Amino acid sequence: MAKKTPAINSSSTADIAFLLLCYFLMTTTMGSQTGLSRRLPPMPDPNQKVEDQKVNRRNIIIVKINSADRILAGSEPIDVSQLKDKIKIFLTNPTDDPNLPVMEPTEIEGLGNRKVSKGVISLQNDRGTSYQAYIAVQNELVKAVNELRDEASMREFGKKFLALDEDQQKIIKNVVPQQISEAEPKDVGKRR
């Protein structure tokens, strides 16, 4: 007959677990990195002659941010809140304005002929621009493109862009390309 073992006092296991918990709370970070993804243009080859990359003037909109965080889109000063609508008009050209980008009919795989804007957004900033203003403008540009993609996917597939599968998203990305160029650094509107 074995001896009956006395019950082990388990109240201290909670303390041990708390200790471990505190250790992990201290040494780890919540892992949710979010942000705006971008692809930088490759550095131009120094041996190559500066070829005039002639983009038709109507196909380009220049968004400038000066050192006082004021924004100039095209040729007029504008507020951040209006920027998105301006970019959307620029990228869709609803009235066939000869000053806005060409809507070129392009054969798109899986859809057929669609009009694709040739518009390019060129973003220029000053060395004195605050990062916050820069991100705000970048955000508005992305928002404009995202809304256009949503509209396009509603039209083509009857779903929001994010609800589409990978292939469909690729198709929509061809219909509404995100053409944001971060130009070579320039000093615009330097005041100091």
Partner 1 sequence: MSMFKKGEKKEMPGISSGSLSDIVFMLLFFFMVTTQMRETENKVVVKIPQASESVKLERKDLSSYINIGTPIRSLQAQYGTDARIQLNDSFKTVDDIRDFVAAERDSKSEADRSFMTICIRADQDVRMGIITDVKQELRRCSALKIMYSARKGE
Binding site for partner 1 (CB under 8 A): 10-11, 13-14, 16-18, 20-21, 24-25, 27-43, 65, 125-132, 134-136, 138-139, 142-143, 146, 182, 185
Per-residue tokens: 71: 């924004």
CA distance 91 to 87: 6
Spatial distance between the Cα atoms of 183 and 57, rounded to a whole number of angstroms: 16
CB of 133 to partner 1, least distance (A): 8
Cβ-based neighbours of 142, under 8 Å, separated by 6 or more:
36, 178, 180
Give min distance, CB of 101 to partner 1, in A.
22
Identity of the residue, 42 or 112, whose beta carbon is nearer to partner 1 in the bound complex: 42
* Shortest Å distance, C-beta 143 to partner 1: 5
Distance CA 90, CA 169 (A): 22
Strands 103-108 and 76-78: unpaired
CB-nearer residue toward partner 1: 1 or 131: 131
For residue 100, what are the CA distances in angstroms to 12, 63, 187? Answer: 73, 15, 27
Closest listed residue to residue 22, CA positions, set 31, 32, 14: 14
Q: Which is nearer to partner 1, 135 or 154 (CB)?
A: 135
Closest distance to partner 1 from the beta carbon of 111 (Å): 25
Of 10 and 95, the one with the shorter C-beta distance to partner 1 is 10
Q: Residue 1 or residue 36: which is nearer to partner 1 going by CB?
A: 36
Least distance in Å: CB of 31 to partner 1?
A: 4
Beta bridge partners of 117: 103
